[in-house]
Amino acid sequence: MSVNQDKLINLLKEKGLKVTSQRIGVLETLAAFPDEHLTAEEIYGKVKLQYPEIGLATVYRNVQLLLELHLIEKITLDDGCVRYEIAKQKDGKSGHHHHHLVCISCGNVFSFQDDLLEELENRIQEKKGFQVTDHEVKFYGYCRDCATSRK
């Protein structure tokens, strides 16, 4: 995989975790496929190619641990599956960083990188004293290909 392994090792060490091939494998896989929003089973299938000795239960345990430490994020896209992606760090903490575009025709999910809600979060803080720590936004519609084929 073409992901910078040193960066992943440093992330694990910063969180006080032992660096294991299984943890590196899970993080490498998520980092290598950032727009695929992988399920634990999909992560397992990809990690197993590089680390054939890994078991599905090990992937689940590592996903849960990495989730608790905010190194990865959980995404629910209303398809009945829990999906995961590498958490983007903001000021040393996990922070929201993008939204998801869900095609209601083909089911493809696309990441939209602009975080357009920072101004709204600041206004909420100023007016209500409520500190927003995260948000999740999903837009539903038709992707370019499906929109074209509907015409």
Residue 144 gets the label, from left (phi > 0), alpha (psi -120 to 50) or beta, of: alpha
89-90 and 93-94: which strand pairing?
A: antiparallel
Q: Give the residue extent of every domain in the chain.
A: 1-95, 96-151
Residue 89 scores a pLDDT above 80: no
For residue 30 the two structure tokens come to 């998520």
pLDDT above 90: residue 141: yes
**Which residues does 70 contact at the CB level (< 8 Å), separation at least 6?**
87, 93, 94
Provide the whole-model pTM.
0.70
- pLDDT at residue 62 in the model: 92
Q: What is the CATH number of domain 96-151?
A: 3.30.1490.190
Instruction: Tell me if 1-95 shares its fold with 96-151.
Output: no
Q: Above 90 in pLDDT, residue 48?
A: yes
Ranges of beta strands (E only) in 45-133 are 72-76, 82-86, 89-90, 93-94, 99-103, 109-112
Which value, in Å, is the radius of gyration of the alpha carbons in the chain?
17
What whole-number distance in Å separates Cα of residue 101 and Cα of residue 99? Answer: 7
pLDDT of residue 107: 84
pLDDT at residue 1, as a whole number? 41
If one compares 94 and 15, the residue with the highest pLDDT of the two is 15
Q: How far apart are CA 130 and CA 150, in angstroms?
A: 43
State the average pLDDT for the chain: 84
Select from 3.40.50.300, 3.20.20.70, 1.10.10.10, 1.10.1610.10 the CATH code of 1-95: 1.10.10.10
Question: Going edge to edge, which strands form the sheet with 138-141?
Answer: 109-112, 99-103, 138-141
Whole-number pLDDT of residue 96 = 54
pLDDT given at position 11: 79
What is the mean predicted confidence (pLDDT) over 101-126?
85
